[in-house]
Amino acid sequence: MMAGAGSSAMRRVSVLPPDHRLDTLLMNGIRAGTAGVAIPDNAAGSPGLDALVRTGDWIRAGFQTFMFINCRDRNRIDLASRWSGARHIRVDGIIIEAGVHPRLGPIPEARPVHDLDPVQAVRFLRMVHSSSPDAREASPWIGMRVTVQTTDAFERVRLTRIIDAGTDMLLISCARPDPDLHRWIRHCRDIPGWDRLELWLDLDTPGEIVGIEPVGVAGVAGVFVPFT
């Protein structure tokens, strides 16, 4: 059975910076201030230590750990392989994101893969899981990062498509302050499937929007908190 995002014990997730050389210091500093960590997947286009390798290090250190997968660098073969690897090392959750175009990163000559967009990637991983001989065993939940440019731009049609794909969790980022974010989120709750969805806010979003001030450790790239 697919494990849900259920985070009754998870109150804060610290997002690690891309530089894995800080991990040992962060492991010592994060323990008291966070309940889990999220490992980036070089979404900004800067090469770094593979997210699956870093995730394994944090799991072995005893942290509840989540892993990003960016679609820019992954085809279906690699997505399926990463899903198998995540299950093997017992990752708690996977967060799918698009990834920025290589032209905006330090290696602009690189060619993006974009075999699947994030919604298609969620559907594909659901198919991979259901066709697995051990599909009844617990697996990571699957979330997706979405960016709200304005409360009107995040169309209900798009959200319905995301939920229909089988997404367990939405990680919402805001490109700019918008005091209507809470109202917009509550307005979406009549969409079919919303009641099973876990909703998290990226506290790169200003604290006054979500009503929660970021609490973390110096060097941490961001903080996620659940929306209730």
Residue 54, domain member (yes or no) = yes
Nearest in space to 117 (alpha carbons), one of 52, 172, 167, 152: 167
Q: Residue 58 belongs to what domain range?
A: 13-226
**Overall average pLDDT of the 21-41 stretch:** 76
Q: What angle do CA 198, 151, 223 make, to 5 degrees?
A: 45
Tell me: pLDDT of 44 over 60: yes
- Our CA angle for 211, 94, 69, nearest 5°, is 105
The mean of the pLDDT values for the chain is: 79
73 belongs to a structural domain:
yes
Between CA 180 and CA 36 the distance in angstroms is 28
pLDDT of amino acid 146: 84
Q: Report the C-alpha gap between 55 and 70 in whole angstroms.
A: 15
pLDDT at position 70 over 90: yes
Q: Say if 218 falls within a structural domain.
A: yes
Candidate from 14-23, 38-47, 66-75, 124-133 with smallest mean pLDDT? 14-23
Query: Residue 126 domain-assigned?
Result: yes
Local confidence band at 153 (pLDDT 50, 70, 90 cut-offs)? low
Instruction: Give a yes or no: residue 51 inside a domain.
Output: yes
Sign of CA dihedral 85, 88, 92, 93: positive
pTM of the model: 0.83
Burial 178-194 (b: 16+ CB within 10 A, else e): beebeeebeebeebeee
Collapsed DSSP state (helix, strand, coil) of residue 144? strand
Contact 86, 140 (CB under 8 A): yes
Domain membership flag for residue 163: yes
Percent of the residues in the chain that have a pLDDT greater than 70, as a whole number: 73
Give domain status of residue 103, yes or no.
Answer: yes
Please state, in angstroms and rounded to a whole number, the distance separating the CA atoms of residues 204 and 174: 8
The number of distinct structural domains making up the chain is 1
Q: Give SS3 for 70.
A: strand
Task: Give the pLDDT mean for 149-157.
Answer: 65
| Residue pLDDT, tens place only, 183-221 | 777 777 788 888 888 888 776 544 444 444 444 444 455
CATH code, 118: 3.20.20.220
